[in-house]
Amino acid sequence: MLCALTLPVHAAQICAWIVESDEPDRVRVLTLWLQSDTDVDFLYKVDGEGIVTHSGESNSPTSATFNLHAGEPQTPWHYGAMLDSVARIDISVEIHAQPTEIFSDTPPPLLAKFSFARAVPENEKKPPATLAKKQCASINPPAAPH
């Protein structure tokens, strides 16, 4: 008789950070980076108010499936907007389990959430590394069906 051995699913450590850079014409670019200590497939969602100035909010919310390979930082999203005075940055990133059904309206389980926010003073000449500090969370992706 053969018996199946079921190993516990190892929790993945997933980290997120945003690198800010300046482009010509006072455009600030935000680049989201993700990294995991193990291969992991998931759905990510980027939301928040984005780059907020006196003229309003500017963001590019998105969601997509993504896969990370152990130890390899990857960037699934970037966005840029003009900074012409005092501003605020507000970006949220959610990591969800990989959807099991493509056309389902039921959101997959939330595994981790990261928040990136800071004030941008009027006299800022170069973006600080504030948002580039890694935020990490342990996630337990659902076991693959047999």
Q: What is the CATH number of the domain that holds 41?
A: 2.60.40.2420
Q: What are the average pLDDT values for consecutive 10-residue runs of the chain, which has 146 residues?
A: 47 95 92 96 95 90 94 96 89 93 84 97 89 94 51
Inter-residue contact 17 to 134 (CB < 8 Å):
yes
pLDDT recorded at residue 2: 46
Inside any domain, residue 6:
no
Inside any domain, residue 94:
yes
pLDDT recorded at residue 6: 39
Inside any domain, residue 5:
no
What's the domain count of the chain?
1
Inside any domain, residue 7:
no
Inside any domain, residue 3:
no
How far is residue 74 from each of residues 69, 78, 100, 146, measured CA to CA in Å?
Answer: 9, 11, 23, 29
